[in-house]
Amino acid sequence: MSHNNNKIDSNNNKLDLLGDSAWTLLGTHLVDQIDFDSVADMAGVDRGLAGALAGSVQCLVLTKMTRLNRQSLMETYDDIQEAGDVSIREKIVEGLLHWFETYAPYRSQIDHLNRSARSHPDLALRLFVGLEALIRHILVISGDPALGLRGMARVKGVSWVFLDAARVWMTDDSNGLATTMKMLDQRMLQAEEWGISLRIFDGGRLHDA
């Protein structure tokens, strides 16, 4: 049993190395310009084993994003625990901003990923599903269970806020991402106003039906 666990840990470490290598190459290449064998060689992983562990560059890139998203969420959770009595909206904004801070060194990767998605609907779909999963996690740790149809509508609304702010973030060189923060605040206030009028929010309070 111990041997099996060690092998699993070793393979997980190799998968992380492959993801790191694919992510590095994404900084200068579109997804379908990245040679899988080159990724394996960069990571120092046998090519056959790399294929068994990952299968494609796209899978490696998405696996790396899952790790970065988890890091961002855990750090957001810690920040929220220390924040005290602040509104759910403020916590959501904090979660979104923290994602942008986490990915700030990787804007080239995000640019190449978005450009790749334009010609690969399967990648675009997986990115969108991943985004909604991220937003749902942010809502939950902010105190909104995001359940039911109204919860689903709130996830989609905050996803719209995220995508709108992301366009600003891509060129934001302000101190502490102040420009992105301002956009997030503005868009979240608009989303909240629309949500109240559509009965997705009730009097500014996020809750489920």
* Spans of all domains in the chain: 58-197
Specify the pTM.
0.86
User: Residue 113: what pLDDT?
Assistant: 97
3-class secondary structure, 205 = strand
Q: Which is nearest to 174 in space by CA: 101, 114, 70, 103? A: 101
The pLDDT score that the predictor gives to residue 200 is 54
- Cα–Cα distance, 13 to 72 (Å, whole number): 20
The pLDDT value given to residue 209: 37
Helix H or strand E encompassing 109: helix 107-117
Q: What is the pLDDT of residue 68?
A: 97
Q: Which fold has domain 58-197?
A: Tetracycline Repressor; domain 2 (1.10.357)
Collect the ranges in the chain with pLDDT lower than 50.
203-209
**Per DSSP, what are the bridge partners of residue 205?**
202
Tokens of 91: 């916590």
pLDDT, tens digit, 9 for 90 and up, residues 102-149 = 999 999 999 999 999 999 999 999 999 999 999 999 999 999 998 898
Q: CA 2 to CA 9: how far, in whole Å?
A: 10
The confidence score (pLDDT) of residue 204 equals 44
